[in-house]
Amino acid sequence: MATYEELAKSLYPNMPSDILDLFANEWARTGDPNVAIAEVRRSDAYAIAFPGNKRPDGTVKFDEVTYTGLKESYIGTLQEYGIPRNTSVDLLTDRFTGLIEGEVSAREFAQRIDATFQGIQENIPEVQSFYRENFGLDLTPEAIFVGALDPTVGEEIVAGRITTAQIGGEAARAGFSITSDLAERLQRAGVTQAQARQIFTSAEAQLPQLQEIQAQQGVEAEQQFGLEQFTEAAVFQSPEELQQIQRLREEQASEFAPTTGAARTGRRVSGLTEL
């Protein structure tokens, strides 16, 4: 027989784990899932997990599955306009809460976003010029678009958080999870979203090869060349990491070189490209 935890997850597959546990416990205590979810909705934890979903009388605007799907639709719409998921989650959480409170449908939100985009599209060069001249920032059109969606994000743009979030989003897109420290360091180095995509796409292609060479040499996984070392070479031109990449490439080349004649030299990462 399925446990209450398993039953709870089957009903609410995307519910946060702490709320899911609370629901399962209430279900086990009361024996009724409807009573259990009503109890959960009265909790402080629920208000944190599902902000904007409760009316003044305590009733909810959307059931939990619909709430999650609606928020995902908001994020998906923004992704269609070039806004990475991480940027949406990091910088527009308050806006999403306001949309939920206003019971804005996915279709209405998409219409609003399109109208906002059309309204700023022709002015993007002027806005870029303004930020460049007044703040020394080279903003992407996506960053400007986010600022237009939520004026309070303007302060975050000046602080550099937009670019940092975009860098994190590009890392996730390539299958990497980077620390905020690394994202901020790249942002301070002037890495744009487009450059971040180039870096992480290159890392996605090259790192497995480098790590495979090290594995063949008996290097333990935790000591192998990683993303941080790769960015040190690609962005900051660290001599140590550049030499390590070149050495690994040369060793790989020598394995396949003819026994007569010299092995070809390896490639190295320079700037943001592989040579």
Q: How confident is the model at residue 259, as a pLDDT?
A: 40
How far is the C-alpha of 96 from the C-alpha of 196, rounded, in Å?
26
Choice between 51 and 250, residue whose per-residue pLDDT is larger: 51
Read off the pLDDT band of 20 (50, 70, 90).
very high
Query: Which pLDDT score, from 0 to 100, does residue 43 have?
Result: 93
Dist CA 42 CA 121 (whole Å)? 44
Ranges 2-11, 60-69, 153-162, 242-251: which has the least confidence: 153-162
Give the pLDDT band of residue 55 (cuts 50, 70, 90).
very high
How much is the pLDDT for 69? 93
Separation of alpha carbons 114 and 110, rounded Å: 6
Summarised one tens digit per residue, pLDDT across range 214-247 is: 888 887 767 777 888 888 888 887 788 788 888 8
Given this model, what pLDDT does residue 197 score?
A: 87
The torsion angles phi and psi of 270, rounded to 5 degrees, stand at: -135, 125
User: Which residues, in sequence order, are CB contacts of 28 under 8 Å at separation 6+?
Assistant: 4
Side chain identity at residue 267, one-letter code: R
Question: Where does the pLDDT of residue 148 fall: very low under 50, low under 70, confident under 90, or very high at 90 and above?
Answer: confident
pLDDT of 71 above 80: yes
Q: What per-residue confidence (pLDDT) applies to 268?
A: 34
Sign of CA dihedral 62, 63, 65, 68: positive
- Indicate the range of 37-46, 47-56, 160-169, 213-222 predicted with least confidence: 160-169
Mean pLDDT of 47-55: 93
- pLDDT over 90 (residue 30): yes
pLDDT tens digit string along 109-127? 999 899 888 877 877 888 7
Query: pTM of this prediction?
Result: 0.58
Which residue ranges make up each domain of the chain?
1-49, 58-188, 200-274
Q: Which two tokens stand for residue 102?
A: 């206003």
The predicted pLDDT at position 239 comes to 82
What is the model's pLDDT at position 62?
A: 94
CA distance 136 to 132: 4
In this structure, is the dihedral angle defined by the CA atoms of residues 72, 74, 80 and 85, taken in order, positive or negative? negative
pLDDT tens digits for 162-204? 777 778 878 888 888 888 788 888 888 888 878 888 999 988 9
Nearest residue to 91 (alpha-carbon basis) of 80, 104, 103, 78: 78
pLDDT at 246: 82
CA distances from 33 to 18, 28, 127, 229 (A): 16, 9, 53, 50
Q: What is the pLDDT of residue 154?
A: 67
**Residue 167: what pLDDT?**
83
- Taking alpha carbons only, the member of 203, 215, 205, 143 closest to residue 177 is 203
Query: Which of 64-73, 150-159, 175-184 holds the top average pLDDT?
Result: 64-73
Hey, which residues does 226 pair with through a beta bridge?
none
Mean pLDDT over the full length of the chain: 82
| Closest-CA residue to 92 (of 19, 15, 188, 169) | 169
Q: How far apart (Å, rounded) are the C-alpha atoms in residues 4 and 149? A: 42
